Amino acid sequence: MDAFKGKFPHIPERISRLGELACNLWWSWHPEARAIFHMLAGNGSEFRTYNPVKLLRELEGSVLEAAAKDSRFLRHYDAVMARFDAEMDTYSSWFYSRVADPRMLQIAYFSAEYGLHHSLPFYAGGLGFLAGDFLKECSDLGVPVVGVGFMYPEGYLHQKLSTDGWQLGESEMLDREKAPICHVLDKNGQPLVIKVPIAELPVYFEVWKAQVGRVTLYLMDTDIEGNDPWNRGMSARLYIGDPEQRLVQEILLGIGGTQILNALGIKHSILHLNEGHSAFAILERIREKVEKGLSFRDASEQVKATTVFTTHTPVPAGHDVFPFGLMDKYFGSYIPLLELDRDSFYALGVNPKDPTAGFNMTAFALRMSAYCNCVSKKHEEVTRKMWQHLWPELPEDKVPIDYITNGVHLPTWIDSRTSALFNKYLGPNWLDDHDNQSIWQLVDDIPDIELWRTHRLLKMIMIAYIQERARQRWLDDHADPNIIMASGVMLDPNALTIGFARRFATYKRAALLLQDTERLKGILNNQNKPVQIIFAGKAHPSDNSGKLLIQQVFNAAKDQSFGGRIAFVEDYDEEIAQYLVQGVDLWLNNPLPPFEASGTSGMKAEINGTPQLSVLDGWWIEGFNGKNGWAFDGNGSDNGDSRDAEELYGILEKEIVPLYYEKDEAGVPHGWVRVMKESIKSTAPAFSSRRMVKEYALKFYQSALRSANGIKP
């Protein structure tokens, strides 16, 4: 409490808990909590863009004084705080009633990125959102998780395009004081500083925390005095390209992250690694046990029995390999602490297919974790093939790698107007019980016209938002007219609108629809049945082929002969994602199989009644049922792209466009609304993070806990 008071000294006593609420991201997935900040902001603007910590710090004292005396505001405030307290209670949770007493165990969850809210730029893409949605769901279900990650103060890489469509990055420093995070303090009330003695020059970091409902996420910040400049930049941004910096980052994440938990006295029985970046946490757990007198063999068996590892991608760049020479520099003095010799240590991380390449983080994590999983059924198949050689004695289908298909956090991604419709037709408890398939059958009771009108409204809101961004760009930057014309100012609320937004990694094939520009023009510029496409996404700053794809899309957007029916929205982030998945008519996903391990943006779209047209890869193989969207193989080997593009054009021309424009006198396209309803019904229960987190708890945590209980402390 006191920490919040210090941060917001001017809040009147009667509403003093506003500070606590602003510092707990719980508000971000509770519309009624967002509403009280909206009431304070009071200017009618869309609240989504606000960060309540910033809001409270910048508000005039008189506004807060007035709120503290306003009976209507106080009624809302009291109701929200009562709900907040009820949801923080440990004993009224699914986990407590179904799995275990959360006080008896802690699960440490390590991830290099977290996508929680756009006020915290700690993510690059899907992996981060998966981790963010995971923590929110653990909070909702009462799963006793603590998160560990980095605070990337330069994580905001604002994307702007030059007039010729080249991505220019501008990084903006995070204002730590106005972000929804707090310093973790030591016994003397000073910021807790942790020292990681990994090389000649130790690295120091301060610890911050973000509160995600019941779950605490600890974040490391190396940008502090006491570090030399090279080390200061270690947590500046995600996925540094330089291998040595990257190795140090991963040492900090795994070893430094474990030290945070120790410093705070948080004893974790289970370790969950979200991707291999944090796998050194395994070593640190083993080292502690060896220090207490266990042999390496016993220590590693105990650690293995209580470790969960989730692998997220078959793309090679997602699997770090550090050359042995580099490893020697940092682990030379660490290896003896494990009571291992150099060769036995490196054997833990060797990939037998490429033994001289170095220490492979994925091979290491797979060997050292009793519970390994992929993020979709198809991904399991691909991963077993990729790593079968680690278990040469086992046939492929016995390789000990399981799968738990990803899911998305419904309260975060469903628009509040759509959920109001669900309240009306699915009953008031739909959200509490949303992984129950039967509730969703009631979607059929929603009158088509109501679902359609809600969707139309969200589409209009999205277009207004995109146009307002363009106006700001024109006003603030005096941007070139070409950039403005390409940024969505000509969007038409009546045209069938396709959304394509994700990281511009080459395998995602952002420019696939541009393969045959003449045919595409025919589809977009059809007088009676026009189609428009909204693109958004960033390329990694060192990925020139991704930047070339952006340029290709942007050039099409500014090409007059497309009639303003292609838009590129700059600076894709979580906020834009919200507007797009809720506002477009159709979500497009056309990566090159089998590289999309799961994909989650299509789930976000489908739960809002935005059907997707997707390659049969990742989650869509499980999700597509013939009624809830469209699918194509996309498996073209040679000439793959042009054949896949042909298939896309064909589905658009023959099925999607005609269905969309087949409307009754009231303007309602009943056939289309049928697909929207099927999308919601099939996706919301099965591809929710609720279903996913319950699977982790029942499949992995429960039995890892049994192993943990058998281990003498």
Ligand X SMILES: *Cc1c(COP(=O)(O)O)cnc(C)c1O
Taking the CA atoms of 672, 675, 681 and 686 in sequence, report the sign of the dihedral they define.
negative
Minimum CB distance to ligand X, residue 410 (Å):
13
Stretch that binds ligand X, among 43-51, 97-105, 433-441, 595-603 (CB under 6 A): 595-603
- Nearest CA among 271, 379, 372, 369 for reference residue 600: 379
Give, as one character, the DSSP assignment of residue 110.
E
Q: Which is nearer to ligand X, 254 or 499 (CB)?
A: 499
Stretch that binds ligand X, among 79-87, 90-98, 573-581, 660-668 (CB under 6 A): 573-581
CA separation, residue 575 to residues 220, 321, 479, 505 (Å)? 25, 34, 22, 20
Tokens linked to 417: 């107007």
Question: Three-state SS for 516?
Answer: coil
Minimum CB distance to ligand X, residue 598 (Å):
7
Q: Which is nearer to ligand X, 459 or 502 (CB)?
A: 502
Q: Which is nearer to ligand X, 504 or 562 (CB)?
A: 504
Minimum CB distance to ligand X, residue 412 (Å):
9
Residue owning tokens 């990925």 = 543
Which of 298, 301, 573, 646 binds ligand X (CB under 6 A)? It is 573
Binding mask 463-502 for ligand X (x = CB under 6 A): ---------------------------------------x
Residue owning tokens 């093939």 = 385
Question: Three-state SS for 537?
Answer: coil
| Pairwise CA distance, residues 115 & 132, whole Å | 5
Q: Does 593 bind ligand X (CB under 6 A)?
A: no
Cβ atoms of residues 192 and 185 within 8 Å? yes
Minimum CB distance to ligand X, residue 597 (Å):
9
| Pairwise CA distance, residues 231 & 236, whole Å | 10
The amino acid that residue 421 corresponds to is L
Taking the CA atoms of 582, 588, 591 and 596 in sequence, report the sign of the dihedral they define.
positive
Phi, psi of 706 (to 5 degrees): -60, -45
Q: Does 622 bind ligand X (CB under 6 A)?
A: no
Minimum CB distance to ligand X, residue 126 (Å):
3
Q: Which is nearer to ligand X, 463 or 581 (CB)?
A: 581
Question: Three-state SS for 213?
Answer: coil
Minimum CB distance to ligand X, residue 415 (Å):
14
Stretch that binds ligand X, among 184-192, 252-260, 544-552, 569-577 (CB under 6 A): 569-577
Q: Does 269 bind ligand X (CB under 6 A)?
A: no
Minimum CB distance to ligand X, residue 252 (Å):
24
Instruction: Please tell me the number of Cα atoms within 13 Å of 319 on its side-chain side.
Output: 22
Tokens linked to 21: 């609420």
Minimum CB distance to ligand X, residue 47 (Å):
18
Minimum CB distance to ligand X, residue 573 (Å):
6
Binding mask 496-535 for ligand X (x = CB under 6 A): ------x---------------------------------
| Pairwise CA distance, residues 454 & 587, whole Å | 17
Which of 499, 599, 609, 634 binds ligand X (CB under 6 A)? It is 599
Binding mask 300-319 for ligand X (x = CB under 6 A): --------------------
How many C-beta neighbours within 10 Å does residue 213 have?
22
Question: Three-state SS for 530?
Answer: coil
Phi, psi of 124 (to 5 degrees): -110, -40
| Pairwise CA distance, residues 348 & 367, whole Å | 7
Q: Which is nearer to ligand X, 213 or 407 (CB)?
A: 407
Which of 19, 102, 125, 254 binds ligand X (CB under 6 A)? It is 125
Question: Angle 258-95-135 (CA atoms, 0-180°, nearest 5)?
Answer: 45
Stretch that binds ligand X, among 167-175, 317-325, 568-576, 661-669 (CB under 6 A): 568-576
Minimum CB distance to ligand X, residue 406 (Å):
8
- Nearest CA among 682, 702, 574 for reference residue 130: 574
Q: Which is nearer to ligand X, 132 or 257 (CB)?
A: 132
Q: Which is nearer to ligand X, 23 or 116 (CB)?
A: 116
Cβ atoms of residues 241 and 543 within 8 Å? no
Q: Does 606 bind ligand X (CB under 6 A)?
A: no
Which of 139, 231, 306, 601 binds ligand X (CB under 6 A)? It is 601
Q: Does 129 bind ligand X (CB under 6 A)?
A: yes
Q: Does 298 bind ligand X (CB under 6 A)?
A: no
| Pairwise CA distance, residues 437 & 443, whole Å | 11
Q: Does 577 bind ligand X (CB under 6 A)?
A: yes
Q: CB neighbours of 253 closer than 8 A, spacing ≥ 6?
A: 110, 112, 148, 149, 150, 220, 277, 278, 280, 281
Q: Which is nearer to ligand X, 308 or 375 (CB)?
A: 375
Q: Does 600 bind ligand X (CB under 6 A)?
A: yes
Rounded to the nearest 10°, the torsion over CA 197, 200, 206, 208 is -60
Stretch that binds ligand X, among 200-208, 265-273, 593-601, 629-637 (CB under 6 A): 593-601
Minimum CB distance to ligand X, residue 486 (Å):
21
Estimate the crossing angle of helix 296-305 against helix 361-368, to 10 degrees.
90
- Nearest CA among 268, 247, 237, 224 for reference residue 334: 247
Minimum CB distance to ligand X, residue 269 (Å):
31
Stretch that binds ligand X, among 82-90, 488-496, 570-578, 629-637 (CB under 6 A): 570-578
Q: Does 574 bind ligand X (CB under 6 A)?
A: yes
Q: Does 126 bind ligand X (CB under 6 A)?
A: yes
Q: Which is nearer to ligand X, 594 or 669 (CB)?
A: 594
Q: Which residues pair with 31 in a beta bridge?
A: none
Q: Which is nearer to ligand X, 11 or 127 (CB)?
A: 127
For the chain, the C-alpha Rg in angstroms (whole number) is: 25
Size of residue set near ligand X by CB under 6 A: 12
Q: Which is nearer to ligand X, 106 or 171 (CB)?
A: 171
Q: Does 141 bind ligand X (CB under 6 A)?
A: no
Minimum CB distance to ligand X, residue 436 (Å):
24
- Nearest CA among 580, 381, 324 for reference residue 461: 580
Question: Angle 694-698-702 (CA atoms, 0-180°, nearest 5)?
Answer: 130
Minimum CB distance to ligand X, residue 299 (Å):
37
Minimum CB distance to ligand X, residue 577 (Å):
3
Tokens linked to 51: 């960060």
- In the complex, the residues that contact ligand X under the rule CB under 6 A are 125-126, 129, 502, 572-574, 577, 599-601, 604
